[in-house]
């Protein structure tokens, strides 16, 4: 047998003299051993931690420093010497953001970064369908892989505390259980595709106004019971690989430098082993961030090698001012994420803009649409009877996906409401369009904020001049039509649903109250479609139009999804993830009218409403909301059978099952969201009157019944007890209410947890 090592052909071993053989063996050994000596960190078969330790042991101090701060807008430097790629990340949360220049916020000007624009976070939550959240995460993962991204800056899970919050549209609503279910499912969908999620913004980033400096004063219970659960579930249930610190302060320290939040709660109590990155330009000091639990500094407004975790950190470690061990821990966490995404092992190829991705976008958008009101069954529209349709409003033609701040997407295409309606009508009716209102012209100021948001100013004078004439024309169009559809609401412009600022009022902007009132007076068959990510006031006109639909920002398929619902191809099944108040003063954050509660005074904002956020407040204070949390109508009707409750285990092992039959008693197929709220009876501590603890979405053909099973555990009944720093269930009684919204409770059963219990942390 001849052994071949490249060009040299050797005789068989036996034919050679012993010394030659020994030498040759040595030579051959070296070559043959080469693959066996491939660094252990490259061996995909080894446990992740072993690979991380091996890689860490090979790094110089300078290389470690290069891993813990940004080297471009959205990467760190990697370790070129060892072939370790930069950790590449992208916004988030609604798809993969367009490519940004390495060292400025200017778009990179690429043509391969048109992406699938999914509906916004609030819309996803409004589906109450966690399977869709998993699919949503899967779409983003595939597109992220195609774009070479390791981390997607998604999901955003901050609780909607005020209806004015500029980023409410990105988040999963006002309830911690709902938000945590959507956080978990989105993260699972994403990370199953070898892309790390980055849950944000940890924590208490509940307003945009003063977001960089405001110090949140909140009780321990509200922190644990409302503001942290979605993050906790992201870590403990979904195994999220990264977390983004928030801009604001808590306990006097910025959240990206916050020992209590990052070291004690996140990494200590919850055992988080992934990496904590800063929000962009949210770090304020080397020592504070280094000891405060931050692992990766991003977006600081300085040259990259001047970042707090760049040269200043290198020098501090060299001088011995800061210890090496925490630096190693930070590097470990960065490497763990990189390796967990299989960045060194060859990930499956990605895919962009596939028909499947577009189908997910459309399904999420359609299932998110909430039918708020439908008196006289005006909807769904029947093209056998409707021959002229007036589509009125700026949002009928406005492209939304490319705006809103860091969540904007360079959509491959976007079907506007008008385009979707025209396509669906397909020439069977005449569609006429009138603008109805004109948002003020926004002029760029040439300034860009820390997050890369171009700053604008408004031309309010032009707005006033246009308003009357536009309304007159819209009314004329409505008179000509069998049905008028006003597509209004908010947009992603300045002071609307946009990052960097909160809204200034609950009212619909741009003169729409008058527009809607006059169109509805001119045509009794008026449908109002609201495109918005936050509650808006409707009292000035709500009595008049028979139908009101909340369509959110539905992503690139928004117009198709809206037409699906308006014409009855899809039966609406969305439910509100936030309460719609009648007026701002009805909502907890604004009830006092004091700046202390919003937006804050002397640098601090006090969450005095405590546990009573969202519907918890409206229930406790017996305030009638405009539309309650969980509300959403259907074109059919559902009946709920009496409940059966059973339980197994006790203490921390308690499992409670609540079962009922849901029946579609109408004539159309549809889906109902079965919602379970617990009401404590005789609790030994203050508790909200009811809290959502389980839900399930069930699709039913006309006349069909299905059993629905909802499960609860000890934590479902527990409150956080700051005196023992743990979750505790008092042996109180509970009423379990099941129904179609927080105010549409159909069936109730009593339940007594077998014994009081303190849950392990």
**Nearer Cβ to ligand BGC, position 392 or 451?**
451
**Nearer Cβ to ligand BGC, position 194 or 279?**
279
* CA distances for 499 relative to 168, 206, 297, 493, angstroms: 9, 12, 21, 9
**Nearer Cβ to ligand BGC, position 279 or 610?**
279
398 is a contact residue toward ligand BGC (CB under 6 A)? no
Which of the residues 461 through 480 are near ligand BGC (CB under 6 A)?
A: none
279 is a contact residue toward ligand BGC (CB under 6 A)? yes
**Nearer Cβ to ligand BGC, position 230 or 643?**
230
Q: Which of 69, 161, 200, 254 binds ligand BGC (CB under 6 A)?
A: 200
Radius of gyration of the chain (CA): 28
**Residue 12 burial (CB count, 10 A):** 9
By beta-carbon distance, which residue lies closest to ligand BGC?
A: 451
Helix (H) or strand (E) holding 513: helix 512-522
Tell me how far, at minimum, the Cβ of 91 lies from ligand BGC, in Å. 5
406 is a contact residue toward ligand BGC (CB under 6 A)? yes
**Nearer Cβ to ligand BGC, position 200 or 373?**
200
Tell me how far, at minimum, the Cβ of 743 lies from ligand BGC, in Å. 33
Tell me how far, at minimum, the Cβ of 71 lies from ligand BGC, in Å. 15
Gap between the Cα atoms of 602 and 215, Å rounded: 9
Tell me how far, at minimum, the Cβ of 200 lies from ligand BGC, in Å. 5
Gap between the Cα atoms of 275 and 153, Å rounded: 12
Tell me how far, at minimum, the Cβ of 214 lies from ligand BGC, in Å. 14
Gap between the Cα atoms of 615 and 575, Å rounded: 14
Residues 6 or more apart from 275 whose CB is under 8 A from it? 241, 242, 243, 295, 296, 330, 333, 334, 336, 337
295 is a contact residue toward ligand BGC (CB under 6 A)? no
Which of the residues 637 through 676 are near ligand BGC (CB under 6 A)?
A: none
Which of the residues 126 through 155 are near ligand BGC (CB under 6 A)?
A: 153
Residues paired with residue 709 on neighbouring β-strands, in sequence order: 659
Please say whether the beta carbons of 165 and 502 come within 8 A: yes
Q: Judged by CB under 6 A, how many residues of this single chain contact ligand BGC?
A: 8
* CA distances for 543 relative to 193, 391, 524, 530, 704, angstroms: 48, 20, 11, 16, 34
Q: Which residues of 575-597 are buried (b: 16+ CB within 10 A; e: fewer)?
A: bbbbbbbbebebbbbbbeeeeeb
Cα 488–489–492 angle (5° rounding)? 115
Catalytic pick from 91, 279, 502, 564? Answer: 279
Which of the residues 10 through 29 are near ligand BGC (CB under 6 A)?
A: none
**Nearer Cβ to ligand BGC, position 255 or 531?**
255
Backbone angles phi, psi at 63, to 5 degrees: -70, -35
92 is a contact residue toward ligand BGC (CB under 6 A)? yes
410 is a contact residue toward ligand BGC (CB under 6 A)? no
Q: Which residue, among 316, 284, 176, has the nearest Cα to 693 in the 3D structure?
A: 176
91 is a contact residue toward ligand BGC (CB under 6 A)? yes
451 is a contact residue toward ligand BGC (CB under 6 A)? yes
Q: Which residue, among 163, 161, 133, has the nearest Cα to 490 in the 3D structure?
A: 163
171 is a contact residue toward ligand BGC (CB under 6 A)? no
Helix (H) or strand (E) holding 183: helix 176-191
Tell me how far, at minimum, the Cβ of 163 lies from ligand BGC, in Å. 20
Tell me how far, at minimum, the Cβ of 207 lies from ligand BGC, in Å. 12
231 is a contact residue toward ligand BGC (CB under 6 A)? no
Q: Which residue, among 208, 135, 169, has the nearest Cα to 552 in the 3D structure?
A: 169
How many residues are there in the chain?
A: 761
55 is a contact residue toward ligand BGC (CB under 6 A)? no
**Nearer Cβ to ligand BGC, position 344 or 451?**
451
Torsion (CA) 72, 74, 76, 78 in degrees, nearest 10: -100
Gap between the Cα atoms of 760 and 558, Å rounded: 45
Residues 6 or more apart from 208 whose CB is under 8 A from it? 165, 166, 167, 499, 500, 501, 502
254 is a contact residue toward ligand BGC (CB under 6 A)? no
**Nearer Cβ to ligand BGC, position 157 or 643?**
157
Please say whether the beta carbons of 159 and 97 come within 8 A: no
**Nearer Cβ to ligand BGC, position 198 or 486?**
198
Query: Annotated catalytic, 194?
Result: no
Tell me how far, at minimum, the Cβ of 197 lies from ligand BGC, in Å. 12
Where in the sequence numbering do the catalytic residues fall? 279
- Residues forming contacts to ligand BGC in the complex (CB under 6 A) are 91-92, 153, 200, 279-280, 406, 451
């Amino acid at each position: 047998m001849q052994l071949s090592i490249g060009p040299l052909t050797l005789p068989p071993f036996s034919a050679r003299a012993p010394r030659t053989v020994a030498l040759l063996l040595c030579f051959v050994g070296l070559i043959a051993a080469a693959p066996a000596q491939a660094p252990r960190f490259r061996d995909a078969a080894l446990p992740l931690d072993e690979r991380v330790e091996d890689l860490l042991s090979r790094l110089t101090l300078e290389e470690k420093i290069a891993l813990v701060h940004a080297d471009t807008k959205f990467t760190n430097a990697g370790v070129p010497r060892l072939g370790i790629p930069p950790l590449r990340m992208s916004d988030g949360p609604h798809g993969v953001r367009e490519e940004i220049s390495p060292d400025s916020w200017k778009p990179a000007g690429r043509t391969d970064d048109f992406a699938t624009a999914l509906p916004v976070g609030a819309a996803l939550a409004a589906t109450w369908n966690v399977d869709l959240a998993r699919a949503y995460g899967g779409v983003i993962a595939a597109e992220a892989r195609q774009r070479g991204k390791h981390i997607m800056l998604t999901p955003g899970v901050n609780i909607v505390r005020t209806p004015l919050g500029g980023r409410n549209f990105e988040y999963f609503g006002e309830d911690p259980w709902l938000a945590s279910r959507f956080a978990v499912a989105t993260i699972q969908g994403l990370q199953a595709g070898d892309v790390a999620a980055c849950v944000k913004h940890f924590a208490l980033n509940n307003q945009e106004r003063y977001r960089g400096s405001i110090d949140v004063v909140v009780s321990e219970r509200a922190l644990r019971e409302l503001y942290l659960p979605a993050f906790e579930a992201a870590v403990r249930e979904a195994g999220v690989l990264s977390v983004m610190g928030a801009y604001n302060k808590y306990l006097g320290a910025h959240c990206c430098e916050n020992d209590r939040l990052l070291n004690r709660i996140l990494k200590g109590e919850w055992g988080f082993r992934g990496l904590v990155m800063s929000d962009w330009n949210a770090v304020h000091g080397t020592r504070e961030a280094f000891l405060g639990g931050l692992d990766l500094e991003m977006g600081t407004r300085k040259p990259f090698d001047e970042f707090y975790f760049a040269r200043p950190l290198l020098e501090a470690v060299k001088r011995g001012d800061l210890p090496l061990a925490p630096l190693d821990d930070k590097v470990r966490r960065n490497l763990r994420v990189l390796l967990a995404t299989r960045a060194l092992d060859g990930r499956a190829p990605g895919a962009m803009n596939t028909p499947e991705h577009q189908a997910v976008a459309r399904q999420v958008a359609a299932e998110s649409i909430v039918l708020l009101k439908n008196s006289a069954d005006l909807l769904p529209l029947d093209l056998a009877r409707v021959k002229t349709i007036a589509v009125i409003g700026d949002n009928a033609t406005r492209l939304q996906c490319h705006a809103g701040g860091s969540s904007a997407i360079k959509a491959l295409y976007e079907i506007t409401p008008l385009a979707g309606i025209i396509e669906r009508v397909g020439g069977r009716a005449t569609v006429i369009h009138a603008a109805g209102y004109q948002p003020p012209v926004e002029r760029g100021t040439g300034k860009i904020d820390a997050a890369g948001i171009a700053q604008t100013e408004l031309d309010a004078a032009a707005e006033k001049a246009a308003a009357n004439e536009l309304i007159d024309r819209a009314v004329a169009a409505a008179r000509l039509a069998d049905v008028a559809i006003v597509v209004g609401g908010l947009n992603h412009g300045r002071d609307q649903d946009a990052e960097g600022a909160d809204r200034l009022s609950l009212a619909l902007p741009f003169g729409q109250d008058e527009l809607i009132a006059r169109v509805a007076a001119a045509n009794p068959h008026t449908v109002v479609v609201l495109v918005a990510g936050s509650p808006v006031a409707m009292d000035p006109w709500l009595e008049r139009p028979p139908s009101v639909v909340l369509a959110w920002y539905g992503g690139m398929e928004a117009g198709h999804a809206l037409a699906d619902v308006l014409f009855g191809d899809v039966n609406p099944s969305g439910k509100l993830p936030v309460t719609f108040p009648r007026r701002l003063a009805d909502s907890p954050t604004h009830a006092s009218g004091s700046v202390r509660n919003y937006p804050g005074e002397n640098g601090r904002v006090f969450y005095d409403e405590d546990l009573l956020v969202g519907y918890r407040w409206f229930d406790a204070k017996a305030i009638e909301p405009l539309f309650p949390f969980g509300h959403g109508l259907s074109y059919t009707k559902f009946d709920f059978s009496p409940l059966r409750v059973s339980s197994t285990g006790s203490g921390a092992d308690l499992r409670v099952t609540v079962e009922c039959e849901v029946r579609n008693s109408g004539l159309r197929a549809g889906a109902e969201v079965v919602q379970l709220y617990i009401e404590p009876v005789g609790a030994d501590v203050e508790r909200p009157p009811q809290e959502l603890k389980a839900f399930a979405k069930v699709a039913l053909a006309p006349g069909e019944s299905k059993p629905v099973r909802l499960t609860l555990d000890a934590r479902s009944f527990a409150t956080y007890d700051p005196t023992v720093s743990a979750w505790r269930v008092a042996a109180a009684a509970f009423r379990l209410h099941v129904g179609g919204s927080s105010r549409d409770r159909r069936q109730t059963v009593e339940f007594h947890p077998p014994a009081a219990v303190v849950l392990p942390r």
